[in-house]
Amino acid sequence: MGALELSRDYFLKVARPALERDCADVYPRLAAGLVGNGSDRYGFDDEISRDHDWGVDFYLWTTEEDAGSIGALNEWKRRLFAEHPPSSVAQRSQYCLEVNAMTVADFYRQLIGTPDRPQTLGEWIRVGDENFSLATNGEVFLDGAGEFSAIRARLLEYYPEDLRRKRIAAKCMEVAQSGQYNHLRMARRADWVATRTTLTRFTEATIALVFLLNRVYRPYYKWEFRMMRSLPILGEALAEPLERLALSPGFGEAELRAQSEDVELICAALVAELHAQGLARSHESFLTAQGAEVQASISSEGLRAMPAQHWI
């Protein structure tokens, strides 16, 4: 059983009744759950995860009007774990945020820099995919006031469409530049480090593009491929050729040909999806053409004029 499931079970069976009894004055407005940093918030934890920062835990989130209760709530939680120890309590390290009580606004502020969904382009572009993913993963176990879940729902509406298109355009161009253009060119120069780098950059750009096409925030790099596989649009379809590229052992003639075939297979699938979403019409196989079309479709003149390379 994963830590998220264990934490939910502990909260609902042990913590929630005690919280309602002991903190009756703030309980109707409290939210609780497990969201943010950690593989367990994605349901990706396994035996390897248990060597640090793993186990039963939960946040308590208050409204601003109840901010004065945070110290008492943290003390209540410490007593609860001491009196009713779960099978495994997460041991926090210096590298992890404390899973303590805080206001709803402070929780979102520490992850995305704003207390609610960003309102301006500047607020959006200051935050990477990973942090938006952290702010919307995991599970909410309780939300009396509904404030935490309302902000979460607004964030899950995803990027403003112009910004999504800007990032799609940039990733199309990176896919083309790394995989379709530079891969075989660097191999012909026998620069094997650069050849491997082109495949790595191609893979990263492809995965990022799949997330953008699914309107899902991309997580921390070590989990992005695993999550990509579960996405309904191109997730499973592109997982196999991407794995073949990762497992390709060298750069002999046959191997380079197979790599190039997988690159083009992936690009053809991306072009088809860009067409399906009405983002591009060109049947040119080189994705720079599609990137230029997506760029041209951006309604904001300022955002449209910014060089795509800035977003790679």
The residues spanned by each domain of the chain are 3-155, 161-311
pLDDT at 88 over 50: yes
Q: What are phi and psi of 32, to 5 degrees?
A: -150, 150
pLDDT at 40: 80
Summarised one tens digit per residue, pLDDT across range 105-143 is 999 999 999 999 999 999 999 999 999 999 999 999 999
pLDDT band at 70 (very low <50, low <70, confident <90, very high): very high
pLDDT recorded at residue 93? 44
Q: What is the C-alpha separation between 118 and 303, in angstroms, rounded?
A: 17
Mean pLDDT of 52-71: 90
Better pLDDT: 183 or 95: 183
Cβ-in-10-Å burial (0-12, 13-18, 19+) of 300 comes to: middle
User: Cβ atoms within 10 A of the Cβ of 44, count?
Assistant: 17
Asked if 129 and 217 count as a contact pair (C-beta separation under 8 A), the reply is yes
Which stretches within 47-128 are classed as H helix?
A: 70-83, 104-112, 121-125
Length of the chain: 312
**Residues facing 89 on adjacent strands:** 56
pTM for this entry:
0.93
